[in-house]
Amino acid sequence: MLELSGIGKRFGGLTALEEISFRVAKGSITGIIGPNGAGKTTLFNVATGIYPPSRGAVLLDGKDISALPPERRARLGLVRTFQNIELFGKMTVLENVMVGLHTQSSSGFFSCAFRMPWQKSEERRVRDKAKEWLAFAGIAEIEGVEAGTLSFGKGRLLEIARAMALEPKLLLMDEPAAGLNSSETAELAELIKRIRDLGVTVALVEHDMDLVMDICDALVVLNLGTMLAQGTPREIQDNQAVVTAYLGEE
Amino acid sequence: MKSDKLKFILLCLVVLAAPLPFSQGYLTSVLVFVGINTMLALGLNLLLGYAGQISLGQAAFFGLGAYGSAVLTTRFAMNPWLAMVLVALCVAAFAFAVGFPVLRLKGHYLAMATLGVGVIAHIAFNETVDLTGGPSGLSGIPNLSVGGFSFDSDLKNYYLVWGFALAAILLCLNLVNSRVGRGLRAIHDSEVAARVMGVNARLMKVQVFALSALISALAGSLYCHVMTFISPTSFGFNVSIELLTMVVIGGLGSVYGSLLGALLLTLLPEMLRAFQDYDIIFYGLLLVSMTIYVPGGLVRGIPALYRRLMPARSGHA
């Protein structure tokens, strides 16, 4: 599904990522873990095209997408959520998800301004579809609320609903459990599993180890911008280098 | 949806009836300029209030529309309607071409670049004397006419200009409540998130810039045919600032706010004629105090004030 090959990223003299290579298998939930500053979010930014890589290539379904801007990658089915929640704060919850359906609709300036008949029916379809995704994320009852006023937990669910509206092949989630309490985290785990069951491949950066061990099929461990290990959750738990990176040497 | 339609129909009725109480032409002629300013404010509001991109050069597009129509109809005897359409399309194409490099800039840099566009256009109007008449202006511009009917009085021009202004309001209302409008507002709130959601932010910003230029150019064409005389002072930097004031005071991101802002800032100077030379100070003060005390603009400030006063009043009753 997604293949990162020899990714390097430098900011001036700082090397944020070096020689990162791994694959995210189709249909899996892959966790990317590592101590703070390991380069996890930078890796997501490179994968989604927010930063260009200094070196290496990003491949989606075998196709090199390294040079494509984020909006083109989104059209190809590569979508992400953000660590600090990037909602469209002045728009309603429903409108946020309708933006997620941007790629599945096509009305331009002219047909929107003149309310052409096909634009009206497209608008209805987009609205209905957006409501379905809100229901999927379990937040249908707040569709009219301004997104900027939502709690962190609800905002997170909205961000996931909005991302799912693109019907992605691969969903990258940057610390989805950050800021959630334990019952919200449990709901999130269920939601992520339901997303996988829809056939969407998921990759997530996460610090909540219970969540990671519960839902991930494969793990990649980063430390100081380099690959430390990869394998199943069980293998990683027993990996001495990983334990050292997290807890330090005795 | 129903109430939106009702609001617009109500506005149409008000516009239709507004000039009836005025027997003399003076106030009607002021209302003509309210209509033109409404179109200009609307163009800027699409760009600034919805897409969140500032332009301090809107007067350039207004001026290009006015001079384009004026030059084509006086020096080349072109049909004014044909000239209007041609000029509007050319100005939009020009804005599209300029927009690609300029709208890659953000914040202060974008403000400076669009300011530059405005200044260059103003210099061009002054210096291309052979074409524009330079600082002494261009006169003898024909009134618009349909068949044998000529728009040669304030009242006729009022209905002409407001026909265009109402159409612009309706089309903008449609636009902002649609896929395109949502895309623009998404860019405003978080450009990164919009792009990750598949919104082609770069293209949409340039498109809305071109649309705002198109509306401004149409307003310019109407202006030159209403005035029959134009000179560069009508398209200077202070005009761009006045437009910015209208949009901020009326309400950023509100179509009806553009109308309110244009109405207030066109009528006020007429009432403050005695302080003519100091009106720019007044604009500055108004802009600063409005952004501090009524950041949402009149369109949001008036209902908020109403809500604050109402419970007090019912308490006394």
Q: Where are the domains of chain A?
A: 2-247
Nearest by CB to residue A162, choosing from B174, B183, B197, is B197
- Which tokens go with A104? 């599945």
Quote the pTM value: 0.92
Residues of B in contact with A50 (CB under 8 A): 192, 196
Tell me what pLDDT residue B317 has. 38
Closest-approach residue (CA) in chain A for B183 = A99
Q: Which two tokens stand for residue B301?
A: 């400030």
B56 in Cβ contact with B240 (< 8 Å) = yes
Rounded Cα distance between B218 and B85, Å, is 8
CA distance A240 to chain B (A): 37
Which position has the higher pLDDT, B143 or B285?
A: B143
**What is the CB neighbour count within 10 angstroms for residue B311?**
8
Percent of chain A with pLDDT over 90: 84
Nearest residue on chain A to B192, judged by CA atoms? A50
CA distance B240 to B113: 13
What pLDDT was estimated at residue B24? 66
Query: What is the per-residue pLDDT for B23?
Result: 63
pLDDT 10s digits, A175-231: 999 989 999 999 999 999 999 999 999 999 998 999 999 999 999 999 988 999 999
Window from B28-32, B44-48, B90-94 with minimum mean pLDDT: B28-32
What's the rounded mean pLDDT across residues A21-26?
A: 94
Count CB atoms within 10 A of the CB of residue B122: 21
B105, B132, B115: which is closest to B58 by C-alpha? B115
Quote the ipTM score: 0.93
* Residue B316 scores a pLDDT above 50: no
Amino acid at A200: V
Q: How far is CA B271 from CA A191, B214, B248, in A?
A: 62, 31, 21
Domain ranges of chain B: 25-236
User: Is domain A2-247 in CATH 3.40.50.300, yes or no?
Assistant: yes
A222-248 pLDDT tens trace = 998 899 999 999 999 888 888 888 777
Query: How buried is B116 (Cβ within 10 angstroms: 0-12 exposed, 13-18 middle, 19+ buried)?
Result: middle
**What sign results for the dihedral spanned by CA atoms A83, A89, A92, A98?**
negative
Cβ distance A91 to B181 less than 8 Å, yes or no, reads: no
Cβ-Cβ contacts under 8 Å for A4 (sequence gap 6 or more): A20, A21, A22, A23, A43, A47, A56, A57, A58, A59
Q: Which residues of B touch A (CB under 8 A)?
A: 171-172, 174-175, 178-183, 185-186, 188-190, 192-202, 207-208, 211, 253
**CA–CA separation, B176 and B289 (whole Å):** 28
What's the pLDDT tens digit per position in B189-246? 999 999 999 999 999 999 999 999 999 999 999 999 999 999 999 999 999 999 999 9
Strands (E), chain B: 138-139, 145-146, 149-150, 229-230
Pairing of strands A14-24, A29-33: unpaired
Chain B positions in Cβ-Cβ contact with residue A88 (cut-off 8 Å): 185-186, 189-190, 193-194
Mean pLDDT of A96-100: 97
| B144-153 average pLDDT score | 91
